[in-house]
Amino acid sequence: MNRILRAAGLWLVLGVSSAGCATSHQEQQRALAHQRSSDDAAADGQYGIAGSEQRKAEEAHHKAVVKAIDEGKPIPPQTKAGDQPSNEN
């Protein structure tokens, strides 16, 4: 019984540690997608949604910066109105 619990705990730790491991590039693409959503909402006059999407873009950019530093890569630029996510993965 003790072995089963240890094995289950190990699998849980490995599963949690490997889940959600996006790269800095992926986080920056999320930031750009939120920026585009913010731009679209603002163009439609939905300023509350635009503000929410802008905050999400800023949070995703912050995550991208932290991950870029951890990965030893250049820091990505802050998103701004009109930025579009790339089509490459």
50-76 pLDDT, tens digit per residue, is 999 999 999 999 999 999 999 999 999
Distances (CA, A) of 70 to 29, 54, 59, 64, 79: 18, 24, 17, 10, 20
For residue 22, give every residue at least 6 positions away whose Cβ sits within 8 Å of its Cβ, in sequence order, or none.
30, 63, 67
Quick check: 18 pLDDT over 60? no
The residues spanned by each domain of the chain are 18-89
Higher per-residue pLDDT: 1 or 72? 72
Q: Which two tokens stand for residue 72?
A: 């030893």
User: CA 65 to CA 33: how far, in whole Å?
Assistant: 16
Structure tokens at 29: 């693409």
Q: pLDDT-based confidence at 16, cuts 50/70/90?
A: very low
Q: Is residue 2 predicted with pLDDT exceeding 90?
A: no
